[in-house]
Amino acid sequence: MALIRLEHVSKRYGDRIALTDVSLSLDAGEWVFLVGPSGAGKTTLLRLVAFAERPTSGRVEAEPGLRRTIGSLGQEFRLLSDRSVYDNIALACQIAGIWGRDQIGDRVRPLLDEMGLRALEGLFPGDLSAGEKQRVALARALVRHPRILIADEPTGNLDPAAAAQIFSMMRQFRDRDTLVITATHVEEWTQRHPGRVIRLEQGYVRSDAPAPRVETGSLAQAREAGGA
Ligand code: ADP
């Protein structure tokens, strides 16, 4: 079963039409790009997927319990400036109902290690570069082990090296069965990290191209088939 399904979803804000008759389903472990020009409806679609918004018509259906396990990442980092890196991430655990100091440590520390943030754990957001801040924001989104990670222009404020790092890290979590859905107008990312590409234009889905299949072993098979 799909993690989340949109059926004939339309969204209007007053007399502005943000989305028209969108039907799609999103599965666990998918790596999805939402592309299209500014105003195409990308943010609106992400907000519907995150249940931050309700459709004007149509239905958004999700697996039970999914709403509580959504992580999100935006262009702004939205870290608490008066808390350390560690505490910013720990707070997300507490919001998710994880309170024990050891339990929190068991979740936060491996993530800090994995994301190269361990040395920064005692610093405050004001001491960090933009790329480091976004890595903390990503750790904060992932510490609850979300089944969906929603990223709206997550590299909009980053230089190319930091942006590449964020994409590689998001990609790692996709490999753990998290559905990752990213809105971006930078088409370079869809080429560097190939996935399903949903193209929006003026509120319509113009195309929905499945991820290219890259079979492991296919090269070897191709070589064998070629008799080399
Ligand atoms: P994108 O993320 O692709 O730039 P959006 O989803 O932000 O597109 O916007 C799609 C359309 O909906 C735009 O015309 C925008 O002006 C309109 N829109 C989005 N949010 C609101 C809102 N809260 N109030 C009024 N209009 C909105």
At the topology level, CATH places domain 4-226 in Rossmann fold (3.40.50)
Tens digits of residue pLDDT in 11-36: 999 999 999 999 999 999 999 999 99
Tens digits of residue pLDDT in 174-202: 777 899 999 998 888 899 899 999 999 99
Q: Provide DSSP, 64-85.
A: TTGGGGEEEE-SS----TTS-H
For the CA of 38, the closest atom of ligand 1 is 4
In the structure, which protein residues have their CB atom closer than 6 angstroms to any atom of ligand 1? 13, 16, 18, 36, 38-44
CB–CB of 209/195 below 8 Å? no
Sequence ranges of the domains in the chain: 4-226
Tens digits of residue pLDDT in 80-134: 999 999 999 999 999 888 889 999 999 999 999 999 999 999 999 999 999 999 9
Helix axis angle, 130-142 to 101-114, nearest 10°: 130
Tokens at 183, concatenated: 């809105």
Say what the pTM is: 0.89
* CA nearest ligand 1 atom 23, residue: 13
Q: What is the DSSP letter of 184?
A: -
Written as one letter, the residue type at 45 is: L
Q: What is the DSSP letter of 53?
A: S
H or E stretch covering 116: none
The backbone torsions φ and ψ at residue 90, rounded to the nearest 5 degrees and listed phi first, read -60, -35
Pairing of strands 179-183, 148-152: parallel
